[in-house]
Structure 1
Amino acid sequence: MLDIKPTTTLGVIIGNRDFFPDKLVAEARKDLITFLKQVNIHPIMLGEVDSKLGGVETFAEAQKCAALFRRHMDEIEGVLVVLPNFGDEKGVAETLKLAGLNVPVLIQAYPDELNKLDVVNRRDAWCGKISVCNNLYQYGIKYSLTTKHVTALSDEVFKKDLLDFVSVCKVVRGLRKVRIGAVGARPTAFNTVRYSEKLLQRNGISVTTIDLSEILGNANKLTANDQSVKDKLEKIHAYTSTGKTPSEKLVQIAKLDVVLAEFVEANALDCTAIQCWTSLQQNYGCNVCTSMSMMSENMLPSACEVDVTGTLTMYAMQLASGSPSALVDWNNNYADDDTKCVLFHCGNWAKSFLPDITMSTAPILGTTVGTENTYGALDGRTPAMPLTYGRISTDDFNGTIKAYIGEGELTNDALKTFGNRAVAQINDLQGLMKYVCRNGFEHHVVMNASKTAGILKEAMENYLGWETYLHE
């Protein structure tokens, strides 16, 4: 049998209360181990001999469990609390307090069966869950709830709850330590992408800057004969059709890609935001869109116009869904349909959004810098797929980070234009646009082919403390 590496490690607390049947704890532990193995989650939990049946009730047991969690602090992404009976609320709360993990917590409680409400079989976990949550609230410990107040491990609804919780854990863990690379200065015409680096840093988000001239200078030192450039050319040809792009432009694009990759690796960056116009075209002679698309496709999100909070949003959505994101413009109305709009950008979306991807030029930008200097932009239409959209922004006036998120659909409606393009259908789109405008959000929005708005709201609002509007 293949040894599949667990994708997530969770601390597990099995609550217990002594005047409820011990067999319920033993049965739950057995079922839980089997269930977590099925969903590829590695549990960190007390052994059956470490406490009474491996449960947590007394302060001494809480101390043991907390010590176990602390030994695995670097591994544990979240904690699952399981209540096969009423449980001891203080035992659960003290464990989390003593462990000091500061990770998301999910509370599950078993349902009773109507024909088993006798002393030997009754659980009372419905009531016990309320008590546990009350204590966590008193202790100031954040926690998540299941869709149903009580739910069996075998319930498909709980399985989805748990997998969504795992995604919440990944978003929280990732955003608390994300490292962003800002390449160059924002285009002077784009005040919209201003942001507060200090507010980001206060939230654990680090920004590493580099002048665009350093990137271009290092790229110009490379030649077509360098092996690193040859390797990049090979990857570019494997990634996209290059259309009518001249060979010398492909070499330029490859050289730029080599230097950007070195910058990312040297600084252990998770994502980047790049000054993509007009200095790049005027002083180097190509677009960086292909490189940005390849990075985003390879789960290293890259945003245009030094939109740092834009790439932060891309990274958040990637963590929630496990798939690439794209930065887009809220760009055009779609005829007279008030529920639809056109999403657009010059050409740097991840390949996952562009089944008909091909390298081209950027016609709009070309009107000012010369079309011959814009090779490297990508052309392609995004077909119908699920849509999660949203935006994280820093609000300097209120000293906070804020966000809006929602879900919709990308459609196959006819759209005759160039660049990277899509048609989105969103409930109460006009109301959403009012919210975006009234609250001073940017014209950039991020899209992801998923339905993960609930995950993002739980992670950002409940655990990170960011004001988050969910559009429905």
Structure 2
Amino acid sequence: MSTVPAREKVLYLPIVRGFYDRELTRSAVAAVRSATSELSLAGVFPGPAAGGDGLIQSDADFEAYWAEWRGQLYDIKALVVLSGDFMQERRAMDAVRLLPEDVPVFLLVHNDDPSDMAPGRAGDSLCGSFSVHHNVRMLGRRMVRSARLDLSQPDIVRRTLAAWQRIMDGVEAWRGMRVAMLGVNPSEFATTFTNQAELFRLGVSLHPYELLDFWGDTVLSANPQAALALGGIKLRQPIAVDDPRIATVREQAAGILDTTAMPPATFETMARCFLWIKDVFERDRIDAGAIHCWPEFGRYFGMAPCAFAMLANALLRKPVVCEVDLCHAVMARLAWVMTGNAGVILDFNNNGWEPRVLNVFHCSQTPPNWLRDKGVACRTGQVEGTIRPGAFTGVSAATSADACHATVFRGAFLREAPPVRGSSGWAFVPNLPAVLEAVQNTTIHHFVAFEGDVAAELVDVLRFRGVQVADLSCELRSLDEIEAELGGQGKTDRRRPAVYPV
């Protein structure tokens, strides 16, 4: 997290033109206030001093409202312009001018009732909304999202604001996000090399750590004779072999991970590595990490980092992804912020038996919310299990020489289970050929899966932060419907395809 607190306030700006029935907007504001409270959003609304009834029309109204919220300027994370009539668009411009460029702007419009269009009853809000959009663009900004709704229906209002809340939280989480780079990129391949300057430009703060320090603080610190033989080594954040927290790690791990196959010494090393991650991330305010795993990590630590990386994601809400893949560390952090659940990094790994099916796999650090049963930590530290069925939102990301790219798509993990190797599953993506083409042209073999459908909100967050997004999220039917269409074939009939797309 940044060295300054995350912004929390949502500024609402209810604007009216003046010669329309003010009740159209007053009732809309009441509905939005109620939904804001239900969602525990920290909303800022005008008091009676602004406009006499909390609606903003004139310069004097805006000035009175400004006096109310100017002391909270640096705690405002989003602006929501709100109205039920043609609107005074200059008031929206006044607010946008005062807010930093990294504050997203939204527009919420109360629809007219087509059955009651008599003079004085119609608000002309559709027409007015286009003026607000244009006037915001004239300032070099744009609406992140706008909605024209019947604001007298509470469920619609609440559902819309809940989606916008995910966007606001994702945008705010990106601001000053701190990502640990644990070691250099793997020596075996250059796929996950990242344009670090591009991530800095987009607002991500990268923090490098030497694997040598990590090794010294966790492995060497457990062997005093070896440390003495090497001589003169100063450990920075050593985790002692008798650290009393190791017992707590054992209890926490037992609830979400079967570690019986891990030799006791391997588990002890794994637990010390987890505690080192915990201590260093807390000390340096780190939100997520990407670690140099194979092949070098196993040579020096005697295990893969998968198990403690999974624990960091599940217990600390601080994902640690593999292969120093910094872009997907960012995406895994967004998964927590936007869904309240851990994301999982996976490979586009194997073709399926038809063009919309593929096998996803990782060694892996798959968190428990993604597995059908409790994951099994094998003797060398990888977490094994089968991906549970259900809908997901996927994002594959990578940098180029001058940009950060992302491909966003929808999919569903199927009930049919492949043989267990690492963590794996069959996935259905309705437009998989197009997704694979976008991936091979702009990103890499990794993607992060978010629970459920947050594709539209994720696209808005990424675009707002300057990522070049290929939005390939198309309609996804229910899992029952998908499997009914794919069914009818026995496993023995699922042959290697003669041609697979892309």
Q: Tell me which of 263, 268, 272 is aligned to 1:255.
A: 272
- The Cα of 1:33 is off from its aligned counterpart by 2.2
Query: Is the Cα–Cα contact under 8 Å of residues 290 and 359 in structure 1 kept in the other structure?
Result: no
Distance 2:27 2:325 in 1: 52
Q: Are residue 444 (structure 1) and residue 446 (structure 2) matched?
A: yes
Q: Are residue 310 (structure 1) and residue 310 (structure 2) matched?
A: no
Taking the TM superposition and a 5 Å limit, the aligned residue runs for 1:121-132 are 121-132=121-132
Indicate the SS of the match to 1:120: coil
Q: Tell me which of 428, 431, 438 is aligned to 1:428.
A: 431
Measured at CA, do residues 103 and 409 of structure 1 come closer, stay the same or move farther in structure 2, by a change above 3 Å? same
Query: Is the Cα–Cα contact under 8 Å of residues 359 and 376 in structure 1 kept in the other structure?
Result: no
Q: Are residue 353 (structure 1) and residue 370 (structure 2) matched?
A: yes
Instruction: Extract structure 1 runs of 4+ deviating beyond 6 A.
Output: none
Taking the TM superposition and a 5 Å limit, the aligned residue runs for 1:29-428 are 29-100=29-100, 102-147=102-147, 149-154=148-153, 156-220=155-219, 221=221, 222-298=239-315, 299-334=317-352, 336-361=353-378, 375-396=380-401, 399-428=402-431
Indicate the SS of the match to 2:151: coil
Distance 2:437 2:23 in 1: 56
Indicate the SS of the match to 1:191: coil
Query: Is the Cα–Cα contact under 8 Å of residues 194 and 326 in structure 2 kept in the other structure?
Result: yes
Q: Are residue 465 (structure 1) and residue 482 (structure 2) matched?
A: no
Q: Are residue 27 (structure 1) and residue 30 (structure 2) matched?
A: no
Give 2:332's aligned amino acid. M
Query: Is the Cα–Cα contact under 8 Å of residues 405 and 470 in structure 1 kept in the other structure?
Result: yes
| TM-score calculated relative to the size of structure 1 | 0.90
Query: Is the Cα–Cα contact under 8 Å of residues 408 and 427 in structure 1 kept in the other structure?
Result: yes
- The Cα of 1:84 is off from its aligned counterpart by 1.8
Give 2:470's aligned amino acid. Y
Aligned residues: 448
- The Cα of 1:306 is off from its aligned counterpart by 1.0
Distance 2:135 2:146 in 1: 17
Moved more, 130-139 or 48-57: 48-57
Query: Is the Cα–Cα contact under 8 Å of residues 183 and 272 in structure 1 kept in the other structure?
Result: yes
- The Cα of 1:29 is off from its aligned counterpart by 3.2
Measured at CA, do residues 384 and 103 of structure 1 come closer, stay the same or move farther in structure 2, by a change above 3 Å? same
Indicate the SS of the match to 1:50: coil
- The Cα of 1:191 is off from its aligned counterpart by 0.5
Distance 2:420 2:181 in 1: 30
Query: Is the Cα–Cα contact under 8 Å of residues 32 and 153 in structure 1 kept in the other structure?
Result: no
Question: 1:131-184: per-residue Cα shift (whole Å, max 9, x none)?
Answer: 11111111122213445x443252644432221111111111111211000111
Query: Is the Cα–Cα contact under 8 Å of residues 16 and 57 in structure 1 kept in the other structure?
Result: yes
Distance 1:468 1:249 in 2: 42
Moved more, 41-50 or 205-214: 41-50
Measured at CA, do residues 196 and 67 of structure 1 come closer, stay the same or move farther in structure 2, by a change above 3 Å? farther
- The Cα of 1:36 is off from its aligned counterpart by 2.2
Distance 2:452 2:57 in 1: 40
Distance 1:98 1:260 in 2: 40
| TM-score calculated relative to the size of structure 2 | 0.84
Measured at CA, do residues 68 and 406 of structure 1 come closer, stay the same or move farther in structure 2, by a change above 3 Å? farther
Distance 1:74 1:375 in 2: 48
Give 2:187's aligned amino acid. T
- The Cα of 1:194 is off from its aligned counterpart by 0.4
Indicate the SS of the match to 2:260: coil
- The Cα of 1:101 is off from its aligned counterpart by 6.2
Give 1:469's aligned amino acid. A
Give 1:436's aligned amino acid. V
Measured at CA, do residues 469 and 113 of structure 1 come closer, stay the same or move farther in structure 2, by a change above 3 Å? same
Query: Is the Cα–Cα contact under 8 Å of residues 104 and 143 in structure 1 kept in the other structure?
Result: yes
What is the aligned-residue RMSD (CA, Å)? 2.0
- The Cα of 1:452 is off from its aligned counterpart by 0.9
- The Cα of 1:408 is off from its aligned counterpart by 0.9
Give 1:10's aligned amino acid. V
Query: Is the Cα–Cα contact under 8 Å of residues 312 and 392 in structure 1 kept in the other structure?
Result: no
Measured at CA, do residues 115 and 452 of structure 1 come closer, stay the same or move farther in structure 2, by a change above 3 Å? closer
Ranges in structure 2 where 5+ consecutive residues have no aligned partner: 1-6, 222-238, 475-502
Give 2:256's aligned amino acid. Y
Query: Is the Cα–Cα contact under 8 Å of residues 35 and 158 in structure 2 kept in the other structure?
Result: no
Query: Is the Cα–Cα contact under 8 Å of residues 384 and 421 in structure 2 kept in the other structure?
Result: yes
Give 1:331's aligned amino acid. N
Distance 2:430 2:202 in 1: 32
Query: Is the Cα–Cα contact under 8 Å of residues 69 and 99 in structure 1 kept in the other structure?
Result: no
Query: Is the Cα–Cα contact under 8 Å of residues 406 and 470 in structure 2 kept in the other structure?
Result: yes
Indicate the SS of the match to 1:114: coil
Indicate the SS of the match to 2:357: strand
Give 1:350's aligned amino acid. P
